Each structure stands twice: as structure tokens, then as C-alpha cells.
Amino acid sequence: MSKIVIAIDGFSGCGKSSTAKAVAKALGYTYIDSGAMYRAATLHFLNNRTVLTNPKDVEKSLGSMEVGFQINPNNGKQEAYLNGLNVEDEIRTMRVSDYVSEVSKIKEVRQELVSQQQKLGKKKGVVMDGRDIGTVVFPDAELKVFMTADLSIRAERRQKEILEKGDLVEIQKIIDNLDERDKTDSSRKESPLKKAEDAVEIDTSFLEFEDQVDRIVSLAKEKI
């Protein structure tokens, strides 16, 4: 059986990551969360108080940044690491969510992370989710999916996820964050969020999680 690349793009909070993870598991593929890489870069920039408008400062921060994934020995899960430290939880905080789209606009940040993502997908057999995977990172991906869902439904799902981790965030704050990120991500100059012409669009507003996973797995099996 041949191995393919599956690119899953879409708006913030559509369930791309959990769907991509389940699709990868079903196919025995590697899952790569490109958003986690932008989030880890953002945390690094925040920690270093990087001035985003200063190219030298950005370059310096990029030079001292190592972003990647490792298996966490405590739970066996693949989690995000920044300069050798596990940052899986810290990159999901509102502090990072509120800043990530500003950092992701920067050309040099994108160049660095896109090149790492392309290396990670070189051997195929990967499911990668993000905003520009089907358009920029893997324009030749065998399967491209573009996920959408109603903003209020996305915010409710995200609130539930945050609640499950023991935190409480007002729904309006989540709606504003998702909306703001969608606008910034879609209107930026560097590889904006947009549906690739050859992507299959899936609206998950009223789909059961298992159904959206099955749909993508079936589409993948047609290509394998």
C-alpha cells in the first residue's frame, strides 16, 4: 500500500487537530500539529520579549528556538517541546492564543516552520493540520481537506475542552479570539488561510466526530 500526505486546513477551533489525530491513528500515519509549532514559536517570542517589528530581534529569537515533538514519557503521547522543555499545556493558554496570529504573520517565522514541516512530511504517511498545509507546505498532497463550522459551535466546543482541563473562560472571550484569529489568518500577506482549489470541504457544525473521521479515512483509502 502506498503512503500519502493528508493536509487538513481550516478555521480556528473546527476540530482539525482531534480529527487529524484520529485519522492518523486509523491509518497508522504520523500526526503533525503545525499550529503547535506556531504556538511554541509564539511562547518563545513572548518569553524573549521579541519585538515583532524589529527584524534583527526576530532573527535572534528564531536562532535560539528549537521547536519539535517528542513522546512524553509520562503519558506516551506525542507533545510539543520548545528548547528541550515540554510546552504542550502552556502553548494552549489564552496568553499564547491571543498573540499567535501576530507571530504567524511574520515571513521569517513562516519560512523557518514551513521548511521544518516539509522535512517532517518528506517520507509521506503523515496527516498535518494547519492553515496553509494544502496551499503552501504540501501543495501536492494527495488528499486535501478544508474544515469549517459555525463560530458559536466552535466556541462551545473549545470552551468544553478548556473546562475539561480545569479552566474557565467566558464564551465571549473564546468567540472573540476565534473570530479575530480567523480574520488575521485569512487576511495576512504571507500564505493566508484559504481553501486549496482541490480541497474537499467538510462542514463539521452538525457532524458527529466519528463521522467526520470516517469520511476523511474513506477519502484517503480511495487514494492509497
- Shorter beta-carbon distance to ligand C5P: residue 100 or 220: 100
Residue 11 marked ligand-binding: yes
Indicate whether 181 belongs to the interface with ligand C5P (CB under 6 A). yes
Backbone angles phi, psi at 127, to 5 degrees: -120, 120
Question: Which parts of 80-119 interact with ligand C5P (CB under 6 A)?
Answer: 100-101, 104
**What cell does 114 get?**
514551513
* Contact call for residues 4 and 201 (beta carbons, < 8 A): no
CB of 1 to ligand C5P, least distance (A): 27
Indicate whether 185 belongs to the interface with ligand C5P (CB under 6 A). yes
Cα dihedral across residues 20, 160, 170, 40: positive or negative: negative
CB of 155 to ligand C5P, least distance (A): 13
Q: Which amino acid is at 22?
A: A
- Shorter beta-carbon distance to ligand C5P: residue 4 or 113: 113
Interface residue with ligand C5P among 5, 6, 12, 127 (CB under 6 A) is 12
Question: Which parts of 132-161 interact with ligand C5P (CB under 6 A)?
Answer: 132-133
Binding mask 20-59 for ligand C5P (x = CB under 6 A): --------------xx--xx--------------------
Q: How many alpha carbons fall within 13 Å on the CB side of residue 178?
A: 24
CB of 221 to ligand C5P, least distance (A): 25
Residue 80: C-alpha distances to residues 37, 87, 113 (Å): 7, 6, 14
Residue 10 marked ligand-binding: yes
Q: Which amino acid is at 220?
A: A
CB of 183 to ligand C5P, least distance (A): 10
DSSP structure class, residue 134: I
Residue 16 marked ligand-binding: yes
**What cell does 64 get?**
535560539
**What cell does 222 get?**
480511495
Residue 183 marked ligand-binding: no
Characterize 14-38 residue by residue with b for buried, 16 or more Cβ atoms within 10 angstroms of its Cβ, and e for exposed: bbbbebbbbbbeebebbbbbbbbbb
Which residues are annotated as part of the binding site for ATP?
10-18
Which residues are annotated as part of the binding site?
10-18
Contact footprint for ligand C5P (CB under 6 A)? 12, 34-35, 38-39, 100-101, 104, 130-133, 181, 185
